[in-house]
């Protein structure tokens, strides 16, 4: 499990923006150049992730899956099925993994206090605090800072909600799920986005 | 003209600093909280609807986001209530909270709409 190692090597994202604005500020007293606020940065990233996930659910899984044209089969073990396709959570994770291969500017993950896949459990105190906060305050986001290694990070946690009975029933019935009483509207976990504040 | 400093006010009318907050409280009681349906709506919203309608999950029109509500508002309150009650597209019936009454759903819809209809 090298998730932590991976996040530790993250550098330069927001740090670069902040550093460049510091340079121009201390430079020649020209017009003030501001770095993007970390909250706006992670909110924007999350908006894209959310839109993509909704569209995958709506235009692929619903439209072509068993409740639509029934030509594809979304399944946890999609690789073993000829017309199998990824569950939205797996699609999301595939995105996070592809991004991790491309850049070390930021990391994101889908986690839960009650994970089916134990790799999706919180790993740092701030992740745990954030997941607890969003579970207790439905609809609210959590923003925190944490230092891992010698890097300070901005960590945002966005709620992931059981938007249909498909979410709750699949998790409740899954043999590896530590929680079996999810219902529609419950916060099931959260999307964690972490960006470095300084290198 | 410069604004009147608090010091000046205190000298002129020592009671005004006390009275102003009282007046605000009275005003709030009379006007701010005088709509029980809005209060109920806010309560239902926070308890059930906010989980999706704060962040726009699955495309749920975000609370207070005029752009997202613009296409939906012209349907009128009764249709919006009917959609919220029976489910609509990716919106689950009653937001998954099947205990909610018609009155509570109506209040919650009106509460959400009031934040974009101004």
| B18 has pLDDT over 80 | no
Q: Are residues B56 and B80 in the same domain?
A: yes
Domain count, chain B: 2
Nearest to A185 among B51, B54, B56 (CB): B51
Residue of B nearest to A141 (CA): B55
Instruction: Tell me whether residue A7 is in a domain.
Output: no
Distance from CA of A33 to the nearest CA of B (A): 29
Contact (CB, 8 A) for A27 and A59: no
- Are B22 and B62 in a shared domain? no
Q: Are both B48 and B58 inside the same structural domain?
A: yes
Minimal Cβ distance to A138: which of B51, B56, B59: B51
- Is the domain of B61 the same as that of B108? yes
- Are B59 and B8 contained in the same domain? no
Question: A164 vs B90: CB contact, 8 Å cut-off?
Answer: yes
Whether B82 and B70 map to the same domain: the answer is yes
B105 and B75 within one domain: yes
Domain encompassing residue A158: 37-197
Residue of B nearest to A187 (CA): B51
Residue of A185, A188, A190, A193 best to disrupt the B interface, most CBs of B under 10 A: A185
CB of A110 within 8 A of CB of A92?
Answer: yes
The beta-strand segments (E) located in chain A are 73-74, 84-85, 107-111, 142-148, 151-161, 187-198
Look at B59 and A58 and tell me if their CB atoms are within 8 Å.
Answer: yes
pLDDT of amino acid B27 = 47
Would A72 be classed as within a structural domain?
A: yes
Q: How far apart are CA B111 and CA B108, in angstroms?
A: 5
Are B63 and B106 in a shared domain? yes
Note whether B25 and B43 are same-domain residues: no
- Chain A's closest residue to B47, CA to CA, is A138
Q: Look at residue A11 and tell me if it is in a domain.
A: no
Q: Note down the domain range covering B14.
A: 1-33
Whether residues B63 and B98 fall in one domain:
yes
**B85 min Cα distance to partner chain A (Å):** 14
User: A46 CA to chain B: closest CA distance, Å?
Assistant: 10
pLDDT tens, residue by residue, B68-82? 999 999 999 999 999
Q: Which CATH number is B40's domain given?
A: 1.10.760.10
Comparing CA positions, the residue from B78, B65, B74, B72 lying closest to residue B106 is B78
Q: Can you give the pTM of this predicted structure?
A: 0.80
pLDDT for B22 equals: 54
Could you tell me if B6 and B58 lie in one domain?
no
The verdict on residue A25 lying in a domain is no
Q: Determine phi and psi for A170, rounding to 5 degrees.
A: -65, -45
Interface contact A58-B58, CB threshold 8 A: yes
Nearest to A163 among B50, B54, B90 (CB): B90
Mean pLDDT, range A114-140, rounded to an integer: 96
pLDDT tens sequence across B26-76: 444 445 556 899 999 999 999 999 999 999 998 899 999 999 999 999 999
Q: How many structural domains does chain A have?
A: 1
Judge whether A104 and A10 are in contact, CB under 8 Å: yes
Contacts of B65 in chain A (CB under 8 A): none
**Predicted-complex ipTM score:** 0.71
* pLDDT recorded at residue A120: 94
pLDDT digits (tens, 9 = 90+) for A6-16: 333 333 344 44
């Amino acid at each position: 499990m090298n998730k932590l190692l991976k996040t530790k090597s993250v550098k330069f994202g927001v740090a670069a923006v902040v550093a460049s604005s510091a340079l121009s500020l201390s430079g020649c007293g020209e017009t003030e150049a501001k770095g993007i606020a970390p909250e706006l940065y992670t909110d924007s990233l999350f908006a894209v992730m959310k839109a993509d996930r909704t569209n995958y659910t709506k235009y692929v899984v619903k439209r072509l899956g068993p409740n639509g044209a029934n030509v594809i089969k979304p399944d946890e073990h999609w690789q073993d099925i000829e017309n199998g396709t990824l569950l939205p959570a797996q699609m999301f994770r595939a995105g996070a993994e592809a991004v991790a291969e491309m850049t070390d500017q930021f990391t994101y993950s889908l986690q839960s206090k009650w994970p089916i896949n134990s790799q999706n459990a919180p790993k740092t105190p701030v992740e745990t605090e954030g997941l607890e906060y969003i579970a207790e305050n439905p609809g609210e986001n959590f923003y925190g800072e944490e230092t891992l290694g010698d890097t300070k990070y901005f960590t945002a946690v966005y709620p992931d909600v059981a938007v249909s009975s498909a979410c709750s029933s699949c998790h409740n019935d899954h043999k590896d799920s530590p929680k079996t009483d999810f219902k529609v509207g419950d916060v099931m976990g959260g999307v964690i986005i972490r960006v470095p504040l300084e290198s | 003209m410069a604004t009147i400093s608090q010091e000046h006010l205190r000298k002129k009318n020592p009671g005004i600093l006390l009275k102003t907050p009282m007046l605000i409280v009275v005003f709030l009681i009379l006007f701010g909280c005088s709509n029980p349906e809005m209060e109920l709506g806010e309560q239902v919203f926070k308890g059930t609807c906010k989980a999706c309608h704060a962040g726009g999950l699955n495309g749920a029109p975000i609370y207070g986001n005029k752009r997202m509500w613009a296409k939906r508002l012209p349907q009128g309150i009764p249709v919006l209530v009917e959609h919220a009650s029976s489910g609509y597209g990716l919106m689950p019936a009653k937001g998954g909270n099947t205990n909610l009454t018609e009155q509570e759903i109506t209040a919650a819809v009106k509460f959400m709409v009031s934040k974009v209809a101004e």
